[in-house]
Chains A and B, each alone.
Chain A
Amino acid sequence: MPSKRKYSVLLPTYNERENIALITWLLVETFTKSKLDWEIIVIDDASPDGTQLVVKKLQKEYGEDRLILAARPGKMGLGSAYVHGLRRAKGDFVIIMDADLSHHPKYIPDFVKAQQKADADIVTGTRYVAGGGVDGWDFRRKLTSRGANFLAATVLQPGVSDLTGSFRLYRKSVLEELMAQCVSTGYAFQMEIMVRARNQGHTVAEVPIVFVDRLFGSSKLGTKEIVFFIKGMLWLLFTT
């Protein structure tokens, strides 16, 4: 698997002072073990909990060229955070994942292998195939996730099993192209990027991942997010 390619990890953070240190450590461990060239870009939206102070300490340990802090003046949402971080990325491939440890860095070598095997433009982590799954989800959360994916799969026919997951690897040029077209926010953003990727004929590979619900802090999935998602889906139905 060793390759000369560079992998840029985009980590959006909002109040993740513990998690950012832990995930950075685990990322460095994974990249070192699998002999991959890497950089990490933290996009922090002025977290009041002092996330950026921890990032600065981490920079002293791992180097400012490896760990880049792309700060923004206030909480502006995930979609634009990715765009902001992508501008700083120098890698050939970009890995997007949550900083809250729901996405374990240990799966990254699987993403890299799947990308190389199929020469894929995108590799997406999926909870819905053999080997994948979740930990810490109740019936309601499972129903919501399944329901959203089932609905979107029926209406949009995108041909991937996990439309709302956000643990993915992209060829950088492809991600730049897709980001420039996407307008949705929230969970609909993950769906839109995949639907557009399929429309444009980009190759997509899947790897099983286990999503572990955040150990610290709480998730924001509520009725508002569900309504937003459905609106986003209908919008894609009419415009793509």
Chain B
Amino acid sequence: MRRIAKLLGWAVGLLAVWLAALQLEVSRRTHILILLAPVISVAAFGVYSVVLLLYGVLTFSDRPEEGRALKQDVDRARRDLTAKGILEPG
């Protein structure tokens, strides 16, 4: 099944649940809460995403020692390549 179909399926399902919930005989307060449920969910998902994203960025591993190791490997390669006349000295 295409990804978009799956996504729309979920959307329609949630919409149906919400519309059904709106028909329930509940207190005014609860009714307003149900009415606002989609907005609250979207906001909650937004906050969750931002937190997860920032966590991901801040825990993105910095590995400067790998940069230094590469420079050493490059020097080794350059010395040999220069000796072989493939790269110019310098």
A contacts, CB < 8 Å to B:
18, 21-22, 25-26, 29, 54, 57-58, 61, 101, 104, 106, 127-128, 132-137, 139, 142-143, 145-147, 150, 154-157, 210, 212-213, 215, 236-240
Contact = CB atoms under 8 A, between A and B. Distances in A.
B62 A21 contact: no
A21 B3 contact: no
B16 interface: no
Contacts of B49: 150, 154
Nearest to B58: A142
B67 interface: yes
B78 interface: yes
Interface of B: 2-4, 7, 49, 52-53, 56-57, 60-64, 66-67, 70-71, 73-74, 77-78, 80-81, 84-87
A26 B77 contact: yes
A146 B73 contact: no
A145 B53 CA distance: 10
Closest 6 CB pairs of A and B: A133-B61, A135-B67, A25-B77, A133-B63, A210-B66, A146-B56
Contact of B61 (A25, A132, A240): A132
Nearest to A28: B77
Contacts of A240: 2-3
B66 A135 contact: yes
Nearest to A132: B61
Question: Secondary structure of the B side of the interface?
Answer: helix
Contacts of A135: 62-64, 66-67
Contact of A21 (B52, B53, B86): B86
B57 A143 contact: yes
A215 B70 contact: yes
Nearest to B5: A238
B60 A134 contact: yes
A21 B81 contact: yes
Contacts of A128: 56, 60
Contacts of B53: 143, 146-147, 150
